[in-house]
Amino acid sequence: MADVVFLALSVITIGSAIASLEFRSLIYGSIALMGTLGGIAGFFLLLDSPFVAMFQLAVYVGSIAVLILFTVMLVKRELIFKKIEDKRRKFVGIALMLIFITALGSVIMDSGIKSITTDEPAVDFRTIGADFLIYYWPALILMALILSGSVTGALVLARRENVENDQRTD
Amino acid sequence: MSVIAPNFKFSEFVKSILDNAFWMLLIFVLIGLPAVFIALFYIEMPVIDGQLLTPFLALTWLADPSRTIPILKAFMSTDLFKIAAFPGFGFAALIAAGTIFVERKMLAKLQLRVGPFYCGKFEGILQLMGDGLKLISKEIIIPAKADKPIFWAAPILFVATAAAFVALIPVAPGWVVADVDVGLIAVFAIIGFFPIITILSAWSSNSKFPFIGGIRALHQMVSFEIPLILSLLGVVILTGTLNLSEIVVSQSNFPWIIFLPIGAIIFFITILAELERIPFDLPEAESEIVAGWLTEFSGMIYGLVQLGTYLKLYAFAALFVVLFLGGWTGPMIWPPFPEDIITNGITIGPITAKIPGLPIFSQEMLNGVLWFVIKTVGVIFFILLPRGVFPRIRIDMLLSLGWYKLIGLAFVNIFIALGLLYAGVLGPGGILQ
């Protein structure tokens, strides 16, 4: 059963990844990208980690894909993209990708992935949280500082009090 | 008066249906039944409990409650029933339909109008059915240069996403379609799909008003998702779980709105914004941009989007009830099933029918559903109420409200929750629990 689901997910993920590169329409390309990201969320579900899967959906499909869609809709395609049909580039790209995949695959296969037992229960998200707070707390605090700094910066940048006051008619 | 059927009369419509039923019955009796019996003559029927299974015996068994109630119970415990009927789609659609009618009638009363009046003999009670028939019978018009696949898919995806949201809501103990450990995160993930579908449908119609409305909807939904998620973190901190059923169980003594009123208020405001309701109905501002992102929808496509919107309304109201008002918990007011019927059976004159398998629903479940529906209807009422009272606000006011005030208040709420947790009042190992 899981094998069928795994194959279907692989087809969806890889197929929509290729489609997102090959579609002429940018909108359809970004929809296909959503399919890829959703397929990865499906892999996480298969790997018994629904917590990561849901965050994958919420963050990547729900936010990143929306940002890409938004950007694509606001630009005129002809202004930034020129049609370059170059067969050689395509083949070089495919060859590079194959080399990369084989290299990465051989590294992963040589690591201890084969000795992992697969019938263990799923990791509870509370354990992840406890690990974050006990072992990885410096990283967590660093991430929190960077994120809060960037959010504050974004808010400050987005604040346009003077302009807004000028635009008001009353 | 419609152009297609200028002389339409409802009585004649009913008469035509009855005519059809009469002819079908006549043909079935004269041709169908003899055909069935001829077929039965050649088919060997099985022998069950020493009796030959004739059609008459099968019908007798169907009328026997001691044989049908277990089948009914088995059916009600299936996933199909849960998805389609009770805690899932059917129940939510029923509440959504009731919401549409109550909204129209209540707004009319608030604004000293009459509202739906003529359809149905009493206060326009059949108006909703009439509207549904109208929407089904209308032509679906697609703009000439629209992107057809997305335009067709968007309303269906909208309803499907709303139904997925509904599936996560626990209605009574054990009565939930998808009881997942990460329920609240799943809710956040599903909410994230609505702006995508909205902007895609708006873009695909290739028309300016839907596109303006879609961009507004995107702005509004994406910026109000952040205070929505932050406002619920207080509840997660105090309960220590993301499972919605466990969150409800944790409120058996007191609802979280007592300790986290700020979070509840923020969540309510963000609900209004996510549902595009007045005072935040900029994406559908009918006096500015026709109907916003719904402009090009017609016929049943529009009907589907409306159904999805009201399913979403029910789901958000139910989520508020689950997280802040204690879900199905409440005093036991549902009367217990009479013991007499279980032990002695029902006595009607000379006949005593002992029916094993009763009661079908437990008292806890019925009581829980009753409390859940009462609370949800109350929250829906408060979601509907601003529409009759408030004007629409500007988009810069909306965005500054979302980004500055609500996010700040959400952090205040989180600090209150953390204070309660570290003071040892609430949470795991607290005084009150």
Query: If pLDDT is split at 50, 70 and 90, which confidence band does A165 have?
Result: low
Of the listed ranges A157-166, B15-24, B55-64, B150-159, the one predicted with least confidence: A157-166
Degrees to nearest 5, angle at CA B250 with B249 and B254: 105
- Chain A residue nearest residue B206, CA to CA: A73
Model confidence at B24: pLDDT above 90: yes
For residue A79, the model assigns a pLDDT of: 54
Gap between the Cα atoms of B138 and B298, Å rounded: 8
Distance from C-alpha of B103 to C-alpha of B380, rounded to nearest angstrom: 9
CB B216 within 8 A of CB B288: no
> A153 CB near a chain B CB, below 8 Å?
no
Nearest to B188 among A58, A70, A155 (CB): A58
pLDDT confidence tier of residue B60, bands split at 50, 70 and 90: confident
Where does the pLDDT of residue B392 fall: very low under 50, low under 70, confident under 90, or very high at 90 and above? confident
Q: Say what the pLDDT of residue A81 is.
A: 58
Please choose, from the candidates B305, B1, B298, the residue with its C-alpha nearest in 3D space to the C-alpha of residue B136. Answer: B298
Q: Among A58-62, A119-123, B234-238, B271-275, which stretch is predicted with the lowest mean pLDDT? A: A119-123
CB contact (8 A) between residue A51 and residue B185 = yes
pLDDT digits (tens, 9 = 90+) for B309-335: 999 999 999 999 999 988 888 888 888
In a domain, B373, yes or no: yes
User: Model's pTM, two decimal places?
Assistant: 0.81
Q: Where are the domains of chain A?
A: 1-78, 84-114, 124-160
Contact B192 A66 (CB under 8 A): yes
CA distances from B218 to B57, B150, B198, B203, B387 (A): 61, 17, 7, 12, 21
* C-alpha span between B319 and B237 (Å, rounded): 17
Residue B311 resides in a domain: yes
In contact, A125 and B182? CB cutoff 8 Å: yes
Degrees (nearest 5) of the Cα angle B318, B262, B393? 80
Contacts 24+ apart (CB under 8 A), B39-45: none
Q: How confident is the model at residue B20 (pLDDT cuts 50, 70, 90)?
A: very high
Report CB contact under 8 Å: A54, B196: no
Closest residue of chain B to A165, computed from CA coordinates: B396
Stretch B293-308: mean pLDDT, rounded? 87
Stretch B336-341: mean pLDDT, rounded?
79
Instruction: Give the mean model confidence (pLDDT) for residues B147-170.
Output: 90
Closest residue by Cα to residue B330 from B360, B365, B362? B365
Residue B182 identity (one-letter amino acid): V
Q: How far is B199 from chain A (nearest CA, A)?
A: 8
Q: How far is CA A117 from CA A1, A112, A114, A121, B192, in A?
A: 19, 11, 8, 10, 35
Q: Which residues contact A112 (CB under 8 A, 6 or more apart)?
A: none
Q: Which residues face B346 on adjacent strands?
A: B353
How many whole angstroms separate alpha carbon A66 and alpha carbon A60? Answer: 9
Average pLDDT over residues B158-175: 89
Q: Looking at residue A168, what is its pLDDT?
A: 57
What is the CB neighbour count within 10 angstroms for residue B268?
17
Residues of A in contact with B215 (CB under 8 A): 70, 73
d(CA B192, CA B324): 22
Q: Given B192, B199, B203, which is nearest A58 (Cβ)?
A: B192
The reported pLDDT for the residue numbered B318 is 93
Cβ contact A54–B185 (<8 Å): yes
Contacts of B192 in chain A (CB under 8 A): 57-58, 61-63, 66
For chain B, the domain total comes to 1
Please indicate if any CB of chain B lies within 8 Å of the CB of A69. Answer: yes
Q: Which helix (H) or strand (E) holds B352?
A: strand B351-353
* Region for B47 from its dihedrals, namely left if φ exceeds 0, alpha if ψ lies in -120 to 50, beta otherwise: beta
Q: What is the ipTM of this complex?
A: 0.74
Percent of chain A with pLDDT over 90: 14
State the first-to-last Cα distance of chain B, in angstroms, to the nearest integer. Answer: 64
- Per the structure, the complete domain to which residue B375 belongs is given by 144-422
Report pLDDT digits (tens) over B190-249.
Answer: 998 898 899 888 888 888 888 888 888 888 888 898 899 889 888 888 888 888 888 888
Q: Mean pLDDT over residues B335-347, rounded? A: 78
A-chain CB neighbours of B206 within 8 Å are: none
A26 CA to chain B: closest CA distance, Å? Answer: 12
Q: Flag if A50 and B396 touch (Cβ within 8 Å).
A: no
Provide the percentage of residues in chain B whose pLDDT is more than 70: 97
3-state secondary structure of B279: coil
User: A100 pLDDT exceeds 90?
Assistant: yes
The answer as to whether B321 is a domain residue is yes
- On the CB side of B294, CA atoms within 13 Å amount to 21
Query: In this structure, is residue B48 part of a structural domain?
Result: no
Report the pLDDT averaged over residues B50-75: 79
pLDDT tens-digit profile of B410-432?
989 999 888 888 887 776 666 66
Q: Which of B182, B189, B396 sits opposite A62 (nearest CB)?
A: B189
Asked if the model's pLDDT at residue B135 lies above 50, the reply is yes
Query: Cβ contact (<8 Å) for A62 and B182?
Result: no
Maximum Cα–Cα distance for chain B, whole Å?
81
Average per-residue pLDDT in chain B?
A: 85
Amino acid B403: pLDDT:
81
Mean pLDDT of the B105-131 span:
82
CA Rg, chain B, in Å?
Answer: 26
Measure CB to CB from residue A54 to each of B186, B222, B240 and give the nearest one: B186
Alpha helices by DSSP H, listed for chain A, are 2-22, 26-46, 50-55, 65-74, 77-80, 87-110, 125-134, 137-158, 161-167
Tokens representing B187 are 């809710």
Q: Given pLDDT bands bounded at 50, 70 and 90, which one contains residue B295?
A: confident
What value, to the nearest 5°, has the Cα angle with vertex B262 and ends B257 and B263? 70
Q: Which two tokens stand for residue B205?
A: 């119609």
Mean pLDDT, range B178-201, rounded to an integer: 88
- Give the DSSP letter of residue B394: P
Which helix H or strand E contains B51, and what residues bound it?
strand B51-52
pLDDT grade for B1, boundaries at 50, 70 and 90: very low
Please indicate, yes or no, if residue B67 is contained in any of the structural domains: no
Cα distance from B378 to chain A (closest Cα, Å)? 30
Answer yes or no: is pLDDT of A63 > 50.
yes
- Cα–Cα distance measured from residue B158 to residue B14, given in angstroms and rounded to the nearest whole number: 35
